[in-house]
Amino acid sequence: MARRVAPEINGGSLADIAFLLLIFFLVTTTMDVDTGIARKLPPMPEEPKEKVDIDIKKRNVCVVLINSQDQILFRNRPMNVDNLREAAKEFIKNEFDDEDLPEKEYKFIPELNKEVGIPKGVISLQNDRGTSYGVYILVQNELVAAFNEVRDEAAMKYFGKPKFDDLTEYEQEGIKTLYPQRISEAEPKNIGGN
């Protein structure tokens, strides 16, 4: 033997060190996935003074108003948040061709392979400066939920699948044409003071 073999380093404490680091990362990790309601703002008009009056018939507009006391007015009727979804769905679909609810434009949609009446309704969400953000999001959520439920129902009706998300992209496109998500966040207004 030329020289003595160096004694092997004891690896027993390796696990302890690794555990220490593991616990550190376990504690510091926040597995927050950022979620939220995605919206698209309307672009700023080029000429602020030139107001183009787009002629939208009264029956096609659904004004949802939230005042500074967080009370909701849906098409001039006071309403509770819980009833908002049903009311919005009724407005979006206009199943029985009501005179007060949006007009329909009959058009052939190739994706659905059918001629259907596309409702021309627009939901306009207006709020006061004093409205609280929590309630605003609650209402936004109900409106988006109404659209999603209507689309789910359409998915069932035309394709026999219970969920809009289960459809193929092509099929989804057809339903999107039938029920486009038209929620407009109006220009700021001061209603009822702060």
Question: Which residues make up the interface to other proteins (CB under 8 A)?
Answer: 11, 14-15, 18-19, 21-22, 25-26, 28-44, 127-134, 136-138, 140-141, 144-145, 148, 185, 188, 194
Q: Which is nearer to other proteins, 1 or 44 (CB)?
A: 44
Sign of the alpha-carbon dihedral angle for 184, 185, 189, 194: positive
Least distance (Å) between residue 113 CB and other proteins:
29
User: Rounded to the nearest whole angstrom, what is the least distance from the CB of residue 1 to other proteins in the complex?
Assistant: 28
Which is nearer to other proteins, 22 or 98 (by Cβ)?
22
Q: How far apart are CA 42 and CA 191, in angstroms?
A: 21
Q: How far is the CB of 83 from other proteins (least distance, A)?
A: 16
* Smallest distance from other proteins to CB 30, Å: 7
- Residue 64 and residue 55: Cα distance in Å, rounded? 19
Number of other CB atoms surrounding residue 166 within 10 Å: 12
Assign residue 126 a region (left: φ > 0; alpha: ψ between -120 and 50; beta: otherwise).
beta
